[in-house]
Amino acid sequence: MSNSIKLAILGLGTVGTGVINLINDNLAELKRRSGHDIIITEVGTRRQRDNIDPNIIQNSDLMAVAASDNVDIVIEVIGGTTLAKDVIMHAIKNGKHVVTANKALLAEHGNEIFAFAEDNNVHVAYEAAVAGGIPIIKVMREALAANKVNWLAGIINGTGNFIMTEMRDKGRPFSDVLSEAQELGYAEADPTFDVEGIDAAHKLALLASIAFGIPLQFDKVYCEGITGITLQDVNYAEELGYRIKHLGFAVRRDGQGDNAAAGIELRVHPTLIPQNALLANVNGVKNAVLVNSHPLGQTLYCGDGAGAGATASAVMADVMDLVRVLGNKDGDEQDSNNQNNHGHHVPHLAFIPEQLSDTPILRAEQMTTGYYLRVHASDNPGVLADITRILSDAGINIDAILQKPAHKVGQVPVIILTLPVVESQMNLAIEKIENLETITDKVVRIRLDELA
């Protein structure tokens, strides 16, 4: 009979319960694929559960569970960045491999956690931390290991995607759709992390580190939410052949072009993308990540980004990888004793720690994108000429102009699409446009990307 691999689950919310159900449902398949019996020996929970196998020890002392001699792999699904960090570090200190779905913790403290894991010769796996059931971490770390990633763009928050989809398809205002998302459980009572882009920024920091071999730098991700998006802009974008999606971008820039700087852009914001683009047709609560790499080209990874089943699937994918690591080490004494040996598991951020790059992260004003501008101007002769002159003087090329009927007497909305430009140039141009006496309101700007 095969050796048993013993799991502890810290947290019995939606995901923790989903992991238990998955193991119970697929027990024979897990053994057939891994060659081991995979069993849950302990769970960390604040209150005793009657629906848990009586052979599983229930303990409210999470630290004790994390250090238990009866555990090989600790699964952390309690969330947060305080207790979760303490528990994970305690598990690592006690020689336990860790699986976590905690993107906020890793984005903010991952460098420290991964270094500590290296020192203790254990692994921290985190497939479930980004895009739920989509195996994007494994793809980036392993399947694309021979490729140079040029850029990636992702719908990596299902709540935001649901809101933008409903606004476009049904003409519903933001506040109305947000209320429904909360009723359906897609958004929290406090939806700030979702609608302001913070959740997506956490995930983007992880993806970018793997893509470009850089340390985790969540604090340098430019972050803009969707609370300012109006039905007016959604409809104008559609009329011009675009859709607005809330996207995370990680882009490698070589510094070519006027005023362009070399480095990596990390940005989360609403974006106009062509209606026929792959990402434009990923709707509802689905997640998707589009990766442009050399020599492979563009590849799209799409699926459920949240929910018990999707997240449990990603958690158990990590567990299966670690089961193989444990199985291999059982038969290889050299692996067990070599602190610098990764065995059959790739490094945490896909690059050997000593080879992580110090490539700079570009500041917001150094980023390069196209723009959608909505300008409200007085219905006077020469106004459009003044606007286009300012853009031209700033070195900004116009791709399209759409003048709409007046919503208010004497005020005309003018929609302008520009070709890519460095943000500092656009900032100066918008300031000059807003200073025109004929401009009646602040300029609305939304970034634009052709995803080419």
Question: What is the C-alpha separation between 338 and 340, in angstroms, rounded?
Answer: 5
Question: What is the C-alpha separation between 156 and 267, in angstroms, rounded?
Answer: 12
Give CA angle at 69 (67, 73), nearest 5°. 70
Exposed e or buried b per residue across 57-84, where buried means at least 16 C-beta atoms within 10 angstroms of its C-beta: bbbeebbebbbbeebbbbbbbbbeeeeb
Contact between 237 and 416 under an 8 Å Cβ cutoff? The reply is: no
Extract the runs of DSSP E, i.e. beta strands, from 379-427: 398-403, 411-422
Question: What is the C-alpha separation between 304 and 284, in angstroms, rounded?
Answer: 10
Question: What is the C-alpha separation between 358 and 371, in angstroms, rounded?
Answer: 30
Question: Is residue 408 annotated as part of the catalytic site, yes or no?
Answer: no
Q: Identify the active-site residue in 203, 220, 286, 329.
A: 203
Q: Which residue's entry shows tokens 């430009």?
A: 421
Rg (CA), the chain: 25
- State the DSSP code for 301: E
Nearest to 90 by CA among 68, 60, 66, 126: 66
Longest dimension (CA), the chain: 86
Coil, strand or helix at 5: strand
Q: Within a 13 Å sphere around the CA of 169, how many CA atoms are in the beta-carbon half?
A: 13
Q: Alpha helices of 303-382 — where are they, by DSSP H?
A: 308-330, 333-337
Q: Which residue's entry shows tokens 């004003």?
A: 365
**φ/ψ bin of 357: left (φ > 0), alpha (ψ from -120 to 50), beta (otherwise):** beta
Reported as type and span, the H/E element at residue 431 is helix 423-434
Residues near 363 by Cβ (< 8 Å), separated by ≥ 6?
A: none
Whole-angstrom CA distances from 417 to 214, 276, 446 are 33, 17, 10
**φ/ψ bin of 394: left (φ > 0), alpha (ψ from -120 to 50), beta (otherwise):** alpha
Coil, strand or helix at 395: coil
- Single-letter residue type at 29: E
Question: What is the C-alpha separation between 93 and 140, in angstroms, rounded?
Answer: 28
Contact between 31 and 96 under an 8 Å Cβ cutoff? The reply is: no
- Residues serving a catalytic function are 203
